[in-house]
Amino acid sequence: MIVNNTNKIKQLKITLFNFDYNFVYAYLIIKLLDNGSLNKLIKEITKSNTKVNVNSFIRKSHLSGNEQFLILLENFISEFKNDFYFLNENFDYIVGVLLQNESKNSYLLCKNYIGDNNFIDYFYYNIRKLIIRGFYSNIKFLAKRSEIISFFAKDNHIDLKRNFINEESGIDILYDLLNKMSICNVKSINCFLLFENIDSYIEQVAKKSNINRKEIESSLYDFYVEQWEVMIDNYNHKKEALEILFY
């Protein structure tokens, strides 16, 4: 169900255009606000202010809840673009995929000031975790249904038994692998399936189609497995050349 956030969306748009801050991705933020990708997150934005450092590039003593959210969203998009610049026409859609299932993200809803050097590690860690959450969830889920995907996880030192995503070393491994797999499959129309959580996707399809989830689970699981196996094969064939060209 899409949450009715009409007033909050309007307020965020007003802040976006009136706030003295250079939003490079204003066009994409507007798109995300309009297409519902941010609905769950918008519900959780509080009115609590964020204290701004005295020697700051922002010329005010504090940020409102909306200002803080928009700045962190802009920063997330920018960081994602830096490392996944090659996604091109898929970029905007994948950003929406990464955000639409978030409800209480510790990064996008935090009150830590982005201009404070004490929080550099915090932002770095949480942005990467947001990006790889769907990727890791899919590996854990699909490895139970495919020997190829299960072997792929083991071959890349991905622990499926414990919550690997909550470990800094785990996030680094997953992030690096997702980046490389994305490069190797950037021309694939289904590259976004590396990012989109299969469980959430099935739930959305069932709601939109107004049908019982169990009626479509099997076919969608098979579709995901098939596409992932193709993308793993692409990665295995290109990874040696990838190391030479990009790393």
Q: Are 164 and 170 in contact (CB under 8 A)?
A: yes
pLDDT-derived band at 130 (thresholds 50, 70, 90) equals very high
Q: Can you give the pLDDT at residue 177?
A: 96
Q: Can you give the pLDDT at residue 103?
A: 64
pLDDT-derived band at 3 (thresholds 50, 70, 90) equals very low
Listed range (26-40, 64-78, 143-157, 230-244) with the worst mean pLDDT: 230-244
Quote the mean pLDDT of the chain. Answer: 89
Domain range annotation of the chain:
1-115, 132-247
Place of tokens 């970029």: 91
Q: What is the DSSP letter of 87?
A: G
Statement: residue 2 has pLDDT above 50: no
- Exposure string over 151-172, b if 16+ CB within 10 A, otherwise e: ebbeebebeeeeebbeeeebbe
Statement: residue 11 has pLDDT above 90: yes
Statement: residue 104 has pLDDT above 80: no
Place of tokens 């094969």: 233
Statement: residue 91 has pLDDT above 70: yes
The percent of residues above 70 in pLDDT, for the chain, comes to 95
Greatest alpha-carbon pair distance for the chain in Å reads 58
Q: What is the DSSP letter of 112?
A: -
